[in-house]
Amino acid sequence: MAEAAQTTRIPLVERVLEANDEVAAANRAELQRRGIFSIDLIGAPGSGKTALLEATLRALEGRRHPAVLVGDLATRRDGDRLARWCDKVIQISTGQGCHLEASQVRDALAQIELGQVDLLFIENVGNLICPVGFDLGQSAKVGLFSLTEGDDKAAKHPYLVEAADLILLNKIDLMPHLSFDRRSFEADVRLLNPRVPILDVSATTGEGLDAWIAWLDR
C-alpha cells in the first residue's frame, strides 16, 4: 500500500516544486531589482538562528537597512525577539509546515516597505532537511550548525552542505565543555562542498561575528 501511494506521489511533489520555483524566480527578480541581498538561514531547532540574527542586527544598526522574515510552526517568540532590533520583522506561522515556501516569502514581502531595505534575512523553520529543497528567491543559502549538535551533522545532512553558500558553526564558546572534533566536521564539509567558507561564531559572546558581518558586506 505504501509503495502504491509513493508512485503517485512523485509527480505531485514535482508540480509543487515547479510552482514554488516560479514564485521564487519572481521573488529573486524583485529583490535583485531593488538591490536587496537576501539570505535563507537554515539550521536545526536550537542551533541559534534567532540569537545569531539578534547579534547581527545589533552589529548592523545604523549602517545597513535590514528586514527579517521568520518562520515557525507556532508562537511569535522569534519575531518578538527580533523586533527589538529591527522595525521590519514579519513572523510567518507555518502550522504543521516543516519549511518556508516562496509564496509565503512573497506574501510577507508585500507587507514591507522595501524601498528602505538593502538586506533581507529569512530565518527558515528549524529543520536541516525540508527547507533545503525549496528555493525562496534568496541570494545565498547559509547553513547554520552548532557545536552542541555534534561533529557528525555535516555528513548526515549532505543536501544542505552541498547547497550552502556559507557554513556558520555556532556556539564555539561552548567548545571547552564538549567533545567536538572541529577537523572532522570540516573534513566532512569539504567532501561535499570543497570551497564553501566555514565561519566559527558565537552569537552569545560575539566571537567571530566580524567575519560574518564582513561576508554580508561583500
In the chain, the N- to C-terminal Cα span, in Å, equals 52
Q: How far is the CB of 196 from its own copies (least distance, A)?
A: 17
User: Is the CB of 45 or the CB of 197 nearer to its own copies?
Assistant: 45
User: 199 - beta bridge partners?
Assistant: 168
For its own copies, the closer CB: 4 or 110: 4
Residue 198 grid cell? 566555514
| From 52, 82, 102, 169, residue interacting with its own copies (rule: CB under 8 A) | 102
Selected from 174, 196, 211, 213, the binder of its own copies by CB under 8 A is: 174
CB 121, CB 216: distance < 8 Å? no
Closer by beta carbon to its own copies, 16 or else 214: 16
Site for its own copies in 104-163 (CB under 8 A): 125-130, 133, 146, 148-150, 152-153, 155-159
CB of 150 to its own copies, least distance (A): 5
